[in-house]
Structure 1
Amino acid sequence: MAEAFAALDVALPAAKVWQLIGGFGSLPDWLPYIPKSEITDGGRVRHLSNPDGDPIVERMLSFSEASRSYSYAIMKAPFPVTDYVSTLSVVEKGATACRVEWSGRFVPAGVTEQEASRLFAKIYEDGLDALKAQLAKKT
């Protein structure tokens, strides 16, 4: 099983950052790579599309408002992995600071563990860079 991880330290309260990214359908609000998100199955499944129009379908596995985190699994996507499970969380680091953490575990399919890990680490890093830019616009 391969893994990927990225983190971003933010000089804002955790509640404010979670307000932007905590909704399971909120990816288009901060992640330019995902211009569209449609929620189905009572809020547990999101249907995304990337800029090329490739479908991505993800199922929420867990959600905690109290710990400001959710985990999800990919059901369909154009990525060379199976058994993908990821967690996005906002960790409080004081009254005016937090850390956004995005991690995933998956089984490579047709690529090495290192290639799959690099792919998702890059996706997470690019996503957190986009979040940083979006948060800068809001402050």
Structure 2
Amino acid sequence: MVRTLALPALLLVVGTVPGHAIDVQKSIDIAAAPAKVWQTIGDFCGIGDWHPAVETCAPSEKDGMKVRTLSLKGGGTLVEEQVSRDDKVMRYTYTILQGPLPVADYKSTISVAPEGSGSKVSWTGSFSAKGAPDTVAQDAISGIYESGLKAIADKAK
């Protein structure tokens, strides 16, 4: 009797475990000094100047943390909070507080590092899919990173 109940109970528990985290990592090499690239992207609300999907960025604060509200081209709004920053190593990390993307528990880091005679910009994120299959969420974030990195490379030349 115990064995008969154990398997269905185990399946019920496994079926209710939240989905695994999805990780996206993208990078690009840029023929410009790291300091110049960081000057281009280091301002948390500066994303409005370089990301092609962002119409405007409005900075604010919440509980002493930097927050940016991104108005997206074509409609939609994202609200993101900077959770850590290190200008010395040229890196900041942020989370999405609200927005239209099919993700939850999103945490992302963008950084600049020396690479040869230029720079390497890395953009990494971890999240779970929300209201869409994992592949749709992963493709959405990959597209955001890829278009952003290309724009950084074009702007930081």
TM-score (norm 2): 0.81
Q: Matches of 1:112 and 1:53 in 2, distance apart?
A: 23
The two structures have a TM-score, normalised by structure 1, of 0.91
Alignment of 1:1-139 (within 5 A): 1-41=21-61, 44-94=66-116, 96-136=117-157
Q: Secondary structure at the residue paired with 1:44?
A: strand
Match of 2:121, as an amino acid?
A: V
Report the Cα offset of residue 53 of structure 1.
2.9
* Structure with greater Cα Rg: 2
Q: Which runs of 5 or more structure 2 residues have no equivalent in the other structure?
A: 1-20
Secondary structure of 1:18's match? helix
Shift of 1:113: 2.0
Q: Report the alpha carbon displacement of residue 107 of structure 1 after superposing the two structures with TM.
A: 0.9
**Alpha-carbon distance in structure 2 between the residues aligned to 1:69 and 1:61:** 11
Range that drifts further, 117-126 or 56-65: 117-126
Other structure's SS at 1:60 match? strand
- Percent identity between matched residues is 35
Unaligned 5+ residue runs, structure 1? none
- 1:123 is aligned with what amino acid? I
Distance 1:43 1:29, change over 3 A: farther
Residue 127 of structure 1: CA displacement?
0.9
Q: Given residue 47 of structure 1, which amino acid in structure 2 is its aligned partner?
A: T
The worse-fitting range, judged by mean Cα deviation, of 15-24 and 42-51 is 42-51
Cα deviation, 1:11-38, whole Å, max 9, x if unaligned, reads 1110000001000010121112112111
Report runs of 4+ in structure 1 exceeding 6 Å deviation: none
